Chain A
């Protein structure tokens, strides 16, 4: 039952392998898990979406991959491998962070240093992290701003973040992320907080850049629209665990996990005339009180006795399709298949 190690992403060489990642935050009521045995892989030239509601552990996952779990949180188990190297090794993480894996964040309004000009922030990165010197620094700064579609890049170098619009700031953020030519970009809700038209522009820009530069993207979002528009593959996250993993078309055509189905039904669509959006019943999970079984069981319409005992494993049921649900698990319905050991 160790087929996970041989599972291939279908888009070339594997870059990032996260296995069984558990991040915990000690609190007065015990340890709250940010992610709970999370597994994911990103291949080269791939755009993977991770979708889940707020509090599902998405952002914790992004920071954990970079070795940046904020204290008092800490990684309690699992492994993160980057191109075969152990990212939990501090020296590896320090080398990779910002150079080979870069991250862009939710709120471009506050993610740039308010007291440094755009040029100063790019210069600092290019000198200290990309190892450029002299006139090459300025040339590359202008090139980067130009690349992310900022007009008059030369003049913009002198701007402070507060002099730029939200969309422009996110473009600058993307430029700083790409400064060291990373292989993987982790985008944590990169369009949240932007105007809808600007959201589309930023998403299109990210899409074009990832294709042109061959950068893989790990898109963390709560927005299935973003996933549909942007990603090749998607993983649905609930309560710190992956509950379903599928290519993008399959996920939207034929979701398997009850939570995925609920998510899809709660998306407004112009092509269907529905008077009301379906909401997933129940409350989002209280992270301090983890049920011993499937975390979605209290809200699930299909819950059975077995769901309360132990969490279901993420199991492959078709080509490139995985689900963690006893009702879909072939082990419980039709005998032997490959199961990921979690």
Chain B
């Protein structure tokens, strides 16, 4: 187990390194940070000055080494826009994004697991159709629209929770649902399908032939056998959240996370900050995947993951 874990961690670090390199290629080879950061009407002279100030006039290999070695110690360079270290700006936003994704993950799992089991239990009956209709709607609706809908209903009309910002857990509720609903929908469908399939397998039939009820069999036998797939899918959904949903929803709810920072950085043509945000988001994705692999291994004794 330890050897395996060590291997996984090395592999994860390698992925982060590759992502970092790709980011460098995009920002330094295909684009010129100096040009992007200056107004369009800036003169060639001003650009050269900016290049020299940023060290962009040095050979590309040297720049790459600087970039990577800086990354290792958490130095992403200075933001043009905010004139402070990009790392500070990004790192202070990380907890907010993690909180949002954690909230969304809770929404996803707590909706998908019971609803999926419920639908499978009541297969082809009203509850099943209702759950499947709901999850289809959750999948089809764009998250930003769900976000506005939730704000209008629960914040503006009913006044139960704040419309935006991040004061305490109450303000976390709506963004969590906005981020998590689509994932919950997909995961509900996958859970239902998995359980219906597993219920036909001999071990489920055996469990029921021993006198365990259908509901007991679903909860105690069948669900465990799709748990591995469930965790894998949840991992994918978390990945989607980090790289997509949170960005949109953080903007909708004025949530002070990394995604919203990245959007502002792009608006302000601050490539250094974009770079830092992308690398940090990618790292969170890689860490999520690592955690998923560990969880799968703990669930299924047969899994000998590479």
Give 5 closest A-B pairs by Cβ, nearest first. A98-B211, A98-B210, A111-B202, A97-B211, A103-B209
Q: Tell me whether A160 and B301 are in contact in the complex, defined as CB-CB below 8 angstroms, given that A94-B211, A94-B213 are known contacts.
A: yes
Residue numbers in A under 8 Å from B221 (CB-CB): 113, 116
Majority DSSP secondary structure for residues of B touching A: helix
A to B CB contacts below 8 Å, 5 in the list: A68-B205, A106-B202, A111-B203, A116-B221, A160-B301
A97 and B225 form a contact (CB under 8 A): no
Among A112-136, those with CB < 8 Å from B are 112-116, 124-125, 128-129
1/0 contact string of B129-150 vs chain A (CB within 8 Å): 0000000000000000000000
Residue numbers in A under 8 Å from B190 (CB-CB): none
A70 vs B201: C-alpha distance when bound (angstroms): 12
Q: Does B43 contact A (CB under 8 A)?
A: no
Q: Tell me whether A97 and B209 are in contact in the complex, defined as CB-CB below 8 angstroms, given that A105-B202, A107-B202, A124-B220 are known contacts.
A: yes
Q: Does A308 contact B (CB under 8 A)?
A: no
A98 and B301 form a contact (CB under 8 A): no
Other A-B pairs, 11, CB within 8 Å; known A97-B208, A98-B212, A105-B206: A94-B213, A103-B206, A105-B202, A107-B202, A110-B202, A111-B205, A113-B225, A115-B224, A116-B221, A173-B206, A177-B210
A114 vs B203: C-alpha distance when bound (angstroms): 8
Which of A70, A162, A180 is close to B302, meaning CB atoms less than 8 Å apart? A162
A71 vs B216: C-alpha distance when bound (angstroms): 18
Q: Does B123 contact A (CB under 8 A)?
A: yes
1/0 contact string of B213-246 vs chain A (CB within 8 Å): 1001000110011000000000000000000000
Q: Does B3 contact A (CB under 8 A)?
A: no
Q: Nearest Cβ in chain B — how far from A215, in angstroms?
A: 15
A202 vs B286: C-alpha distance when bound (angstroms): 50
Q: Which residue of A lies closest to B204 (CB)?
A: A113
Q: Which residue of B lies closest to A108 (CB)?
A: B202
Q: Does A191 contact B (CB under 8 A)?
A: no
Q: Does A99 contact B (CB under 8 A)?
A: yes
Q: Does B207 contact A (CB under 8 A)?
A: yes
Interface size class of B (residues with CB under 8 A): 20 to 34
Q: Does A35 contact B (CB under 8 A)?
A: no
Q: Does B300 contact A (CB under 8 A)?
A: yes
Q: Which residue of A lies closest to B208 (CB)?
A: A68
Residue numbers in A under 8 Å from B208 (CB-CB): 68, 97
Q: Which residue of B lies closest to A70 (CB)?
A: B200
1/0 contact string of A140-174 vs chain B (CB within 8 Å): 00000000000000000000101000000000010
Residue numbers in A under 8 Å from B202 (CB-CB): 105-107, 110-111
A97 vs B212: C-alpha distance when bound (angstroms): 9
Residue numbers in A under 8 Å from B299 (CB-CB): 115
Q: Does A16 contact B (CB under 8 A)?
A: no
Interface size on A, residues (CB 8 A): 32
Residue numbers in B under 8 Å from A70 (CB-CB): 200, 205
A107 vs B211: C-alpha distance when bound (angstroms): 19
A176 vs B301: C-alpha distance when bound (angstroms): 22
A112 vs B209: C-alpha distance when bound (angstroms): 12
Residue numbers in A under 8 Å from B211 (CB-CB): 94, 97-99, 129, 180
Q: Which residue of B lies closest to A106 (CB)?
A: B202
Q: Which residue of B lies closest to A179 (CB)?
A: B210
Q: Does A263 contact B (CB under 8 A)?
A: no
B203 and A113 form a contact (CB under 8 A): yes
A318 vs B225: C-alpha distance when bound (angstroms): 53
A97 vs B301: C-alpha distance when bound (angstroms): 30
A114 vs B207: C-alpha distance when bound (angstroms): 12
Q: Nearest Cβ in chain B — how far from A144, in angstroms?
A: 13
Q: Nearest Cβ in chain B — how far from A141, in angstroms?
A: 14
Residue numbers in A under 8 Å from B200 (CB-CB): 70
Residue numbers in A under 8 Å from B302 (CB-CB): 114, 160, 162
A110 and B201 form a contact (CB under 8 A): yes
Q: Which residue of A lies closest to B300 (CB)?
A: A115
Q: Which residue of B lies closest to A99 (CB)?
A: B211
Q: Tell me whether A125 and B210 are in contact in the complex, defined as CB-CB below 8 angstroms, given that A113-B225, A114-B225, A114-B302 are known contacts.
A: yes
A176 and B210 form a contact (CB under 8 A): yes
Residue numbers in B under 8 Å from A68 (CB-CB): 205, 208-209
Q: Does A325 contact B (CB under 8 A)?
A: no
Residue numbers in A under 8 Å from B207 (CB-CB): 113
A225 vs B205: C-alpha distance when bound (angstroms): 27
Among B45-84, those with CB < 8 Å from A are none
Q: Does A66 contact B (CB under 8 A)?
A: yes
Q: Does A102 contact B (CB under 8 A)?
A: yes
